[in-house]
Structure 1
Amino acid sequence: MFNKLIQLSEKMKNKEMKSSLITLLLRAIGVLTLFLFTLFFNRNFEPSIVGDYEFTRMFLLVTGGVCILGTDISILYFSGFFRSENKFYKIKSLYFKVLTLSLGLCVLILTIFNIIFTEDSINDIFGNKNSYQLISTSLLFLVFNVWTLFNTEVLRALDQIVWSELFRNTFKFFPIFIGVLLLYNSNTPEVIVDVYIKGFVVLCLITTLFVIYLLKKIPKGIDGDIVTFKEIIRYSLPMCISSIIIYLLSTIDIALLRYFFGSSEVAFYALAIKLISVSGMIILSINVNVSPQISELNAKDKRKELESLLKKSSRIIFVLNFILCIFLLIFSEYILSFFGSEYLVAKKSFLILILGQFIIAGFGSVAVYLNMTGRPIVFRRILFFALLLNIGLNYVLIPHFGLVGAAITYVITIIFWNATSTVYIFRKDNIKTFIH
């Protein structure tokens, strides 16, 4: 009996490792897809159009995060909980209740927007003449964006990890990629932003059909045994708050750059951020593997093993990021010009971001440690103060220094929450998450 349990445990570990490797591979494919799209888009379209696309993408990210109410994360919790109680059939009622809740919020936001704001007021707030058109169209089709996002996470909850990752990181670029190819050298290249927004209709239809097909295969359960709206909000709202803070941290600089300097500056800055995000993928890849181990070792109070794991992970993160940052520093000018000579204007801000990423890599897996040791509320509070710092610095630095000001703010903000988390962990647990 004992040997069978050991064999089952080993199988589960192998399954988790296999899933992690598949996830990392699919995310790498997603990064490659994003790189190819960005390369073609930036080289063949005006920076102002690229900037409008980035502004719209970030606006949908924040408003979508509000409307989905954290259910894209809590669905994974609910699916695991239902399985543990042999009540996985409850995922069906959960799916439709979440849709009702999220879609209702989309309609509410659209209604409030149309009642309160005018075209002139929106254009004044965001500083461009086409801001109202971009925002109103985004809100009109927001429901499809939110629905697609939720469907993507539901696929993961239904153990369709491959399809979930493909829709999240690869397939979502297909509609706009096709649009870019069709509108290449056309007389109306600005239509590409509308193509991006309305492309979620297609993605929503495909993912919904896929999800409903899978839900129908789940055996029926007990009538009346359903999840209430109260339960959904109770578990989802805290996650929603954290997600919105993170979205805002990556959005405020975009909005202010567009307001003070126009869409072209947004395009230059967004490219630098995307290039730096490769470093973030390295950190995420390491954290994917260490997260469950941190949780397990902490629960079993195996302090030495936990310290050893964090020490190893911090060193791997630092070394890999060091190599990447050196490469980016040496070839920064060539890399930026590869997307178009006009993007060389972002060189100073790009160098600042590289330096900041190098420093951040030294802090290790602080966010994962706090979340995996049962202190997400602490991390959320740290992020909230980081958001206040980010807003203040952006309003002071961007009007005077433009791209450089945005980059400095980004670096200071992310160093702040990493350093604060590191100090908190060391003082409370006497654990070193940083490189040492």
Structure 2
Amino acid sequence: MVYRFWKINLIKKLNDKLSRDRHLGELLKGSIVTFFLKVLGVGFGYVLTLLIARLFGADNLGLYTISITILNILVLLGVFGFDNALVKFIAGFNARRDMQKTKEVFQKAYAISIPISLFLTAILFVLAEKISLRLFNNEQLTIFLQITSIGIVPFVLLKINSAFFRGLKMILQYSLFENVLISLLAVLIMLFLVMWNKSPEMIIGAYVCALFIVYLFSYRKTYNILSRIGTHRHTLTYRQLLDVSFPMLLASSVVLIMTWTDIIMLGVFKSEEDVGIYSVVVKLAGLTSITLMAVNSIAAPKFSECFQNNDLQGLKHIAQKSTKLLFFATIPLILILTIFSEFFLSLFGEKFLIGKVALFMLLIGGTVNALSGSVGLLMQMTGNQKQFQNVIIFAALINIVLNYYLIPIYSIYGAAFSSMISMVIWNLILVYLIKKKFKFLTIYIPAFSKASKL
């Protein structure tokens, strides 16, 4: 009876708090939806990795990982920074109920990205053999890369559609298309294909098929929304759009390159087996970023909305609340991965146990990431994308230099150490810059933080 009364009282207090604090209510609701769907998507992603590791071995997992890495890098170039720029523009237009400008900026993003994506597809298809032989010294990679090239266009357009949903704060749709459906369909397609053909190339083929199907679903949804919006005279020039998207492209490119530099350089200096083992370590460590991505999904449009309305107090409130959410959601995951590291690694096979120390290093970087908060997005959504770009470039250079010297000697341990150091550097610099510009700290440590209670 006492427990039931306490539970009802707690729920009532929470509802009262959320009804008084609109920003916190939207932040919690959006974060919770994205978190559970992201967990689901990551789960399917691990099933996919596990299937490849078990059915095709660490070497073919390495070829798949290299292909996906190159795909992500080229998709980033094709998107041209619109994944974040559209969130910034559309969130501002949506706050003013200006859906005609939303339609205009979306169409212009398509007009720029489609020809770039087609060009990148042709380049990768033609150069697949040279990349495979000269850079990775592996002829089998050629067919992997040629199949990968076919997935560039649908993946780019899917990213733009997802940014459209995110800018409108349609978090459920954004999360499904961005986090869940690709991995789910790739698993189902692979299970179907493996019954007929067990050739390694079908691994990447299943993923590309999934990209096409998910893009078609997302296109149908965006078409239904945009077809109801009328046209008007053009007020946003391509130059204005590119002035925002291009710095975001550079920053995002550097972030992705820094994230995947380890994989590429391991593929150059070491074996495909090392790449396969390290890719599993990265995936496990990436579990700590699930909550960050969940919170960021709704924090990004909220940051933009507050900044557009000159609500600096609201901006501070959202930044500090989101960091506190990140801390309490991420630290338990880090502890679980640390304590049960051998168990999780052994699921992929005995060979993967040598990645334990590398996993610990990446978890240290993940801890700093969680304590710092959504610093990168805050900078980008408040017109400071060029400063963010410079910080990321600096961190990326450190990462590349460390990888170049450490990977040949220490293999996956050198790669993990390089990532850890660069991650710590860029987070702490961005925390300092936000404190200097906006006069508040995003970083949260329970014993010392002055952030208000939820």
Q: TM-score, normalised by structure 2?
A: 0.81
Structure 2 residue matching 1:189: 3-state secondary structure? coil
Give the total of aligned pairs: 425
CA contact (8 A) 1:183 1:189 kept: no
Does 2:337 match 1:328?
yes
Q: List gaps (5 residues or longer) in structure 2.
A: 1-17, 449-454
Flag the 1:259–1:65 CA change in 2: closer, same or farther, 3 A.
Answer: same
Map 1:58-207 to 2 at 5 A.
58-83=69-94, 87-112=98-123, 117=127, 119-120=129-130, 122-157=132-167, 160-184=170-194, 186-207=197-218
Q: 1:233 Cα shift?
A: 1.8
Identify which of 399, 408, 411 aligns with 1:390: 399
User: Quick one: structure 1 residues 214 and 276, their matched pair in 2 at CA, closer, same or farther if it must change by over 3 Å?
Assistant: same
Whole-Å separation in 1 of the counterparts to 2:125 and 2:328? 51
1: distance between equivalents of 2:52 and 2:25?
Answer: 40
State the partner residue of 2:264. 255
Q: Distance in 1 between matches of 2:129 and 2:391?
A: 36
Q: State the partner residue of 1:4.
A: none
The reply on whether 1:28 has 2:6 as its aligned counterpart is: no
For the 8 Å contact 2:83–2:163, the answer to whether it is kept is yes
Secondary structure class of the residue paired with 1:225: coil
From 349, 360, 366, the equivalent of 1:340 is 349
C-alpha displacement of 1:281: 2.0
Q: In the TM superposition, what is the alpha-carbon distance from 1:424 to its structure 2 partner?
A: 4.0
| Offset at residue 412 of structure 1 (A) | 1.0
Q: Check the 8 A contact 2:30/2:294 in 1, yes or no.
A: no
- Partners in 2 of 1:289 and 1:353 — Cα distance? 26
Q: What is the root-mean-square deviation of aligned Cα atoms in Å?
A: 3.5
Q: What are the within-5 Å matches in structure 2 for residues 259-298 of structure 1?
A: 259-285=268-294, 292=302
Deviation at 1:143? Answer: 1.2
> Counterpart of 2:139 in 1: which secondary structure?
coil
Normalising by structure 1, we get a TM-score of 0.84
Amino acid at match of 2:251: S
Task: Give yes or no for contact 2:66–2:263 (8 Å, CA) kept in 1.
Answer: yes
Q: Give, as a single letter, the amino acid of the residue that structure 2 aligns with 1:258.
A: G
Determine helix, strand or coil for the equivalent of 1:46.
helix
Residue in 2 aligned with 1:18? 29
Residue 211 (1) aligns with residue 222 (2): yes
Work out whether residues 44 and 184 of structure 1, in 8 Å CA contact, stay in contact via their aligned partners in 2. Answer: no
Residue 221 of structure 1: SS of its match in structure 2? coil
In the other structure, the counterpart of 1:3 is: none
Q: Distance in 1 between matches of 2:57 and 2:129?
A: 25
Q: Which moved more, 1:225-234 or 1:69-78?
A: 225-234
Q: Which runs of 5+ in 1 are unaligned?
A: 1-6
Q: Which moved more, 1:13-22 or 1:321-330?
A: 13-22
Contact 1:359-1:415 at 8 Å conserved across structures: yes
C-alpha spacing 1:295/1:371, structure 2 compared with 1 (3 Å): farther
When residues 18 and 44 of structure 1 are mapped into structure 2, their CA distance, relative to the original with a 3 A threshold, is same
Q: Which digits, 9 at most, give the CA deviation of each residue in 1:82-112, with x for residues without a partner?
A: 4455541344444333223111112333455
Match for 1:410: what amino acid? S
| Partner Cα distance (1:11, 1:322) in 2 | 26
Taking the aligned partners of 1:101 and 1:63, their CA distance within structure 2 comes to: 15
How far did 1:16 drift?
A: 5.5
Counterpart contact for 1:65–1:243, Cα < 8 Å: yes
